[in-house]
């Protein structure tokens, strides 16, 4: 039976059972009708074995060209009317006013099947249909990716709170940068697979850190986890003492004034030859006084030779890069050692 005929048949049985009375149920009425009128003598005489005028199903088979199963529509998005208008979204069709490859329908809009088409024309039209089907599949694939990764709520700014609730841990800056780099994988992996990948990477990172910690325990002669607590407490105390010592040293340097500022270079040769400004320069450039004096001597000597018209070839040391050279030249110019034209 067809679906419509079956519904009518069931309705008729209930109608007949209601008129027969309480002595017969709809199921008993249906069984009596089938046995007497369909499979009985009357049915054998009236119903032929083959029905020549049976209705033919003209819909495309599943997976065939232009089959509805190729682009199974997704449930509509749960967004407001204003947001639908903003996106150009039509919820009843799950379509947008501007779709991916908007002109894809032009491939088949002008096609028509004519009785006088030859084989070449038929194959050409089939090729157009195949191209159109591929574009439809790609359009649907992009919709599925956008739906799976919640790109529409993300565009509307509605998924931030949901993400914060769903996250079991805080995402580090390095992981955020890595997620941005691996975004092209969205089209090859589902959202769950992508999240599982990063969760597994985080677990791997934690396991590697734990392995390094256990290896450090082993190098220090610790073979039981009970002993590790005592070791960590002692290590924490050592680090605390070291930190307090560094803090006291920095405070002492500040109290000493400029001597603390130049603590890194004050014991190096040539420190006493520098002016206060030159000490600040060497300290900021992390340049030893002896090297600064050497560079300063070479630059001033070259400058004087050029002013006297004597050709000179610069012999600056190899450790002097462009940044250091530019800073030192600017300093010597501002101090009046060399003219601005020479720098």
pLDDT in tens, 233-249: 888 888 888 888 777 76
Report pLDDT digits (tens) over 304-326.
888 777 776 667 777 777 778 88
Q: What is the dihedral of CA 10, 12, 15, 20, to 10 degrees?
A: -100
Which of the pair, 52 or 186, is modelled with greater confidence?
Answer: 186
* pLDDT given for residue 127 in this prediction: 92
* pLDDT given for residue 18 in this prediction: 67
Token code pair at residue 230: 């005592």
Q: What does the pLDDT average to over 272-296?
A: 82
* pLDDT given for residue 15 in this prediction: 62
pLDDT band, residue 4 (cuts 50/70/90): very low
Q: Angle at Cα 278 formed by Cα 276 and Cα 281, nearest 5°?
A: 115
Q: Is the pLDDT of residue 206 over 70?
A: yes
Q: What is the mean pLDDT of the chain?
A: 77
CA distance 238 to 233: 9
How remote is the C-alpha of 181 from its chain's centroid?
7
- Residue 2 in 3-state DSSP? coil
The percentage of the chain sitting over the pLDDT mark of 70, rounded to a whole number, equals 76
Which of the pair, 266 or 223, is modelled with greater confidence?
Answer: 223
pLDDT band, residue 265 (cuts 50/70/90): confident
Lowest mean pLDDT among 28-32, 39-43, 55-59, 309-313: 55-59
Q: What does the pLDDT average to over 167-181?
A: 79
Long-range residue pairs from 196-202, CB within 8 A, at least 24 positions apart, any chain: 201/175, 202/169, 202/175
DSSP assignment string, 44-82 = HHHS-SS-TTPPP--SPPTTSTT-GGGGPPPPPP---HH
* pLDDT given for residue 295 in this prediction: 82
Lowest mean pLDDT among 105-114, 208-217, 297-306: 297-306
User: How big is the chain, counted in residues?
Assistant: 343
* pLDDT given for residue 207 in this prediction: 93
Cβ neighbour number for residue 338 with a 10 Å cutoff: 19
Rounded to a whole number, what is the largest CA-CA distance in the chain?
133
The H or E element containing residue 96 is strand 95-96
Q: What does the pLDDT average to over 246-273?
A: 66
Are residues 299 and 343 in contact, defined by beta-carbon separation less than 8 angstroms? no
Domain ranges of the chain: 1-73, 169-221, 223-257, 271-335
Report pLDDT digits (tens) over 66-82.
555 555 667 777 888 88
Closest CA to 324 of 276, 292, 289: 292
CA distance 136 to 129: 10
Are residues 300 and 338 in contact, defined by beta-carbon separation less than 8 angstroms? yes
pLDDT band, residue 266 (cuts 50/70/90): confident
CA distance 200 to 196: 6
CA distance 224 to 214: 10
pLDDT band, residue 2 (cuts 50/70/90): very low
Closest CA to 232 of 207, 210, 213, 208: 213
Which 8-state DSSP code applies to residue 288? -
CA distance 213 to 216: 5
Q: Show Cβ contacts of residue 145 under 8 Å, excluding neighbours closer than 6 positions.
A: 151, 186, 187
Token code pair at residue 258: 């400029």
Q: Is the pLDDT of residue 1 over 50?
A: no
- Residue 220 in 3-state DSSP? coil
Beta bridge pairs of residue 96: 89
CA distance 206 to 216: 15
Lowest mean pLDDT among 9-18, 57-66, 166-175, 176-185: 57-66
């Amino acid at each position: 039976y067809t679906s419509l005929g079956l519904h009518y048949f069931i309705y008729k049985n209930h109608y007949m059972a209601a008129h027969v009375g309480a002595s017969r149920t709809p199921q008993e009425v249906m069984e009596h009708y089938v046995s007497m009128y369909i499979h009985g003598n009357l049915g054998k005489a009236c119903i032929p074995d083959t029905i020549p005028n049976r209705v033919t199903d003209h819909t495309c088979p599943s997976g065939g060209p232009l089959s509805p199963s190729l682009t199974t529509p997704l449930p509509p998005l749960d967004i407001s009317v204003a947001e639908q208008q903003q996106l150009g979204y039509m919820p009843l069709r799950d379509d947008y006013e501007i779709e991916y490859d908007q002109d894809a329908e032009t491939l088949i809009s002008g096609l028509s099947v004519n009785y006088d088409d030859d084989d070449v024309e038929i194959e050409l039209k089939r090729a157009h249909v195949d191209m159109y089907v591929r574009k439809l599949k790609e359009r649907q694939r992009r919709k599925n990716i956008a739906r799976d990764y919640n790109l529409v709520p993300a565009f509307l700014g509605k998924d931030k709170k949901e993400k914060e609730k769903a996250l079991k841990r805080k995402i580090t800056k390095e992981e955020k940068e890595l997620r941005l780099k691996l975004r092209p994988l969205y089209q090859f992996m589902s959202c769950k697979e992508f999240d599982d990948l990063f969760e597994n990477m985080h677990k791997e990172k934690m396991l590697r850190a734990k392995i390094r910690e256990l290896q450090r325990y082993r190098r220090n002669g610790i073979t039981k986890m009970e002993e590790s607590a005592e070791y960590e407490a002692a290590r924490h105390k050592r680090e605390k003492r070291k930190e307090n010592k560094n803090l006291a040293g920095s405070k002492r340097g500040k109290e000493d004034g400029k001597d603390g500022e130049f603590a890194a270079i004050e014991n190096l040769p040539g420190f006493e030859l520098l002016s206060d400004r030159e000490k600040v320069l060497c300290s900021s450039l992390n340049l030893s006084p002896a090297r600064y004096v050497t560079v300063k001597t070479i630059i001033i000597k070259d400058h004087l030779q050029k002013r006297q018209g004597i050709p000179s070839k610069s012999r600056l040391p190899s450790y002097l890069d462009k940044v250091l050279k530019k800073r030192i030249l600017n300093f010597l110019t501002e101090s009046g050692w060399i003219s601005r034209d020479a720098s």
